[in-house]
């Protein structure tokens, strides 16, 4: 595989994929990424990063339950270049070309990329649209981290608790630090916390889904669509691809708070009333493979087992995405792909 992160289908055509709008969007994306590669020497993490639109400070007393809140403001969907210092990247800078054939993958879709250059080392149905389940919480993490004020507090509302398990069990009226909930949702994947952070950010779940889709377009995730913050199948219609989720994973690792959260193997969650409960990271590869640096799991009946995972060794950095897998294959195959991509 010598392609890069461009929208080129390596699988059967999805309904509507061949439409003029999709073809035009694909061509536009190739041109944008080509310009970015020229400007940055092919450094993928700079290419996938964009300048988020300036976010106005939330007015004191502004409503947080309106169905059409005034924030976040409408953002441009055109990718723009951005400069990052090396310590902000989450990755070092050495590439690697595996000399061995890739391991067998039974998942419905998968991809392995060099995190620095974006070079695709392996792809299987990488542009096939599939449910992403909770892996899309990485985008939740990006939006919350970019909004900032992670040391500030938020109050849980009743509507935040209206979701299916997995739930942490936060209750209306409880007050938590925003950054604490962000870390917990990326470690434990709690859907009630995801809804709480989404409502706090945008005023409602629907408004947050719109913010997710704007940010996804800015990142170059042009084959993804989201309807909620947590990846559950209601409302229906959301999808992503292995390739887009690899882009998302690389962008998420730009943020120190996200890197620290997804690499956390276990923590103790303290409820507002003082109760504590041990929390283990849902990513089992983090405990079985010493070079794994984290990322995000996902599961629904429709999506199957999903995992975005990352690993680093000797300056080599890879991201692997597996969609539509089963347990334990999602763990063993993800680890095998990471090892292969690193050459260890």
Dihedral of the alpha carbons of 298, 288, 193, 248, in degrees to the nearest 10: -60
Q: Which of 91, 85, 49 is nearest to 221 (CA)?
A: 49
Catalytic residue status for 137: yes
Spatial separation of the C-alpha atoms in residues 222 and 127, rounded to whole Å: 10
CA distances from 143 to 188, 200, 289, 299 (A): 18, 11, 29, 22
Total number of residues shown for the chain: 344
Spatial separation of the C-alpha atoms in residues 269 and 277, rounded to whole Å: 5
Is the sign of the CA dihedral 141, 221, 71, 210 positive or negative?
A: negative
Tokens of 135: 């892996």
Give the phi and the psi of residue 129 in degrees, each rounded to 5: -75, 130
Spatial separation of the C-alpha atoms in residues 275 and 190, rounded to whole Å: 17
91 with 45: CB under 8 angstroms?
yes
Catalytic-labelled residue, pool 134, 240, 263, 309: 134
Give the phi and the psi of residue 235 in degrees, each rounded to 5: -70, 150
Catalytic residue status for 334: no
Catalytic residue status for 189: yes
CA distances from 149 to 116, 200, 341 (A): 29, 12, 36
Give the phi and the psi of residue 343 in degrees, each rounded to 5: 75, 40
Tokens of 19: 């439409």
**203 Rama class: left (phi>0) / alpha (psi -120 to 50) / beta:** left
Catalytic-labelled residue, pool 9, 119, 124, 137: 137
Spatial separation of the C-alpha atoms in residues 291 and 334, rounded to whole Å: 12
Catalytic-labelled residue, pool 9, 89, 117, 189: 189
Positions annotated as catalytic residues are 134, 137, 189
């Amino acid at each position: 595989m010598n392609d890069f992160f461009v929208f080129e289908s390596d699988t059967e055509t999805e309904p509507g994929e061949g439409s003029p709008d999709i073809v035009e969007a694909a061509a536009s994306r190739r041109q944008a990424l080509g310009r970015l590669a020229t400007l940055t020497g092919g450094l993928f993490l700079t290419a996938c990063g964009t300048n988020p639109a300036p976010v106005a400070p939330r007015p004191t007393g502004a409503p947080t339950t309106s169905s059409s809140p005034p924030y976040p403001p409408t953002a441009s969907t055109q990718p723009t270049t951005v400069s990052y210092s090396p310590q902000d990247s989450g990755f070092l800078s050495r590439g690697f070309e595996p000399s061995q054939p890739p391991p067998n993958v039974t998942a419905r879709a998968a991809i392995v990329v060099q995190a620095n250059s974006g070079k695709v080392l392996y792809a299987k149905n990488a542009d096939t649209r599939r449910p992403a389940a909770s892996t899309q919480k990485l985008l939740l993490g990006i939006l919350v981290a970019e909004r900032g004020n992670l040391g500030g507090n938020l109050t849980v509302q009743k509507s935040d608790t209206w979701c299916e398990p997995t739930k942490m069990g936060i209750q209306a009226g409880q007050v938590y630090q925003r950054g604490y909930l962000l870390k917990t949702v990326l470690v434990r994947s709690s859907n009630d916390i995801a809804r709480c952070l989404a409502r706090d950010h945008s005023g409602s779940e629907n408004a947050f889904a719109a913010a997710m889709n704007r940010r996804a377009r800015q990142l170059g995730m042009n084959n993804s669509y989201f309807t909620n913050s947590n990846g559950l199948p209601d409302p229906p219609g959301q999808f992503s691809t292995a390739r887009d989720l690899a882009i998302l994973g690389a962008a998420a690792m730009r943020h120190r708070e996200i890197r620290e959260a997804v690499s956390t193997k276990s923590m103790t969650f303290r409820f507002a009333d003082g109760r504590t409960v041990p929390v283990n990271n849902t990513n089992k590869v983090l405990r079985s493979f010493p070079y794994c640096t984290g990322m995000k799991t996902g599961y629904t009946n429709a999506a199957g087992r999903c995992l975005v995972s990352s690993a680093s060794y000797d300056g080599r950095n890879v991201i692997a995405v597996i969609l539509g897998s089963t347990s334990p294959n999602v763990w063993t195959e993800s680890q095998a792909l990471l090892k292969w991509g690193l050459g260890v």
